[in-house]
Structure 1
Amino acid sequence: MLKKTTLLILIFILSSCSSQENDKNYYYQIGKEKKVQIFKFVDKNNLKNIEYWKVTSNPQTNKILTESFTSDLRLYNLFEEEFKTDGTEIIRYADFEVNENGQNIKIEGIIVDDDVYKWSDNNKYSYSVKYTNPKYGNELFTKKRTKNKFENININGIVYSTLKFKDEYEIKSLEKNQKYEFYQYTYYANGIGMVKYLRYHPDGTIIELELTETLTETEFDKLKEKASR
């Protein structure tokens, strides 16, 4: 009986480890050397809606920094996370908004909850950030995530093996009794990271952002230089 119990425990442990590694493979990877990748995303429902995500992975610090840019190459968000044994945790967050003088102003966030991506967790988890918006005052941004399923999806003729999540967002005013909520389905491809999200806003707007190409840092710098002229 003891041998059977021990065997069952061993099978459970091995199965859990396998599941954890499998889910981890669908997220952004940290290699042996520092690496910079730029992902270009285009909204299928509005081809003018383009985003560039500059993802820098650093094995020395075990961290990944994601800088998000608008179609005109303006930095609008900064998101840094650290890899842990069971997933990644947010350690730095900032938004950027253009003020009346045309300057890109940085809005620093204070981390409240920190779970971004769990290697193996079927329960809902979240991260949240407090910040002071110049227009709307003190706000709390929360993102809740639940693992959905594995799914093969076709993007521009390329079939990706993905892990799909449901993400629920809430932006809550800490000074007024107001909040804004929306949700999306996010797809992470094996060995790549995020390749698509399908976002639903309460007014009926749907954003279907898909990966169209990956640029080198040199190519991206040339685009930024051209946009600044």
Structure 2
Amino acid sequence: MTKNITLLILILIISSCSAQENFKDYYYQIGTKKEIKVYKYVDKNSPKNIEYWKVTTNPKTNKIMTESFTTDFRLYNIFEEELKTDGAQIIRYADFEVNDNGQNTRISGTIVDKDVYKWNDNNKYIYSVKYTSPKYGNEQFIKERTKSGFENITVSGTEYSTLKFKDEYEIKSLENDQNYEFYQFTYYAKGIGMVKYQRYHPNGTTIELELTEILTEKEFDELKEKASR
């Protein structure tokens, strides 16, 4: 009986470690050297809406930095996270808005809650950031995430094994009772990172951002240079 119990405990431990590793395998991967990849996403419902996510992974610091660009290559967000033993935590956040003079101004955020992606957690977790918007004053951005399960999906003609999440967002004014809420389903593909999200706004607008290709830094710079001519 004792041997059977010991064997059962070992099986449970191995299964738990395997599940934890499987969750992590669906997130952005850090290799043996510093790498830069640029993910190109296109809105399925509005193909002219394109986003570029420049993802820099650094094994020396165990950090991932994502710089997000609009269709016309304007930087609109910087998001840096550090990989911990139980998941990825946000360590730096900044938005960029165009001011009245046409300049891209930085709005740095103060981290309140840190959990971005957990390796093995079926419960809801959260990250949030406080910042001061030149247009709207003091605000807090809140994102709650819950794992939905594994799902095979086809994106831009390619089939992926994905881990699906439901993400609930709230932008809360800290100066009055106004807030804005929306939600999305986010899909991470094994060994790649995010390949799709379906975002639902309260006015009925739906954005389906899908991965179409992964560019090198050089290819991305060439696109920016061509667009600036």
**TM-score normalised by length of structure 2:** 0.98
Give 1:9 deviation, angstroms.
2.2
Q: Distance in 1 between matches of 2:157 and 2:62?
A: 34
Q: Distance in 1 between matches of 2:57 and 2:140?
A: 27
In structure 1, the residue matched to 2:98 is 98
SS at match of 1:221: helix
In structure 2, the residue matched to 1:53 is 53
Give 1:199 deviation, angstroms.
0.3
Give 1:12 deviation, angstroms.
1.6
Q: Distance in 2 between matches of 1:179 and 1:11?
A: 47
In structure 1, the residue matched to 2:214 is 214
In structure 1, the residue matched to 2:40 is 40
In structure 2, the residue matched to 1:119 is 119
SS at match of 1:175: coil
Match of 1:123, as an amino acid?
N
Q: Distance in 1 between matches of 2:80 and 2:6?
A: 41
How many residue pairs match? The answer is: 229
Give 1:64 deviation, angstroms.
0.3
Percent sequence identity is 75
Q: Distance in 2 between matches of 1:177 and 1:221?
A: 43
Match of 2:93, as an amino acid?
Y
Q: Distance in 1 between matches of 2:20 and 2:82?
A: 17
User: Which stretch of the first structure deviates more once superposed, 10-19 or 104-113?
Assistant: 10-19
| Displacement over 4 Å in runs of 4+ | none
Give 1:13 deviation, angstroms.
1.3
SS at match of 1:202: coil
Aligned pairs for 1:94-173 within 5 A: 94-173=94-173
Match of 1:9, as an amino acid?
I
Aligned pairs for 1:76-95 within 5 A: 76-95=76-95
Match of 1:78, as an amino acid?
I
SS at match of 1:27: coil
SS at match of 1:65: strand
Match of 2:114, as an amino acid?
D
In structure 2, the residue matched to 1:195 is 195
Tell me how large the CA RMSD over aligned residues is: 0.9
**TM-score normalised by length of structure 1:** 0.98
Match of 1:192, as an amino acid?
I
SS at match of 1:191: coil
Q: Distance in 2 between matches of 1:200 and 1:103?
A: 30
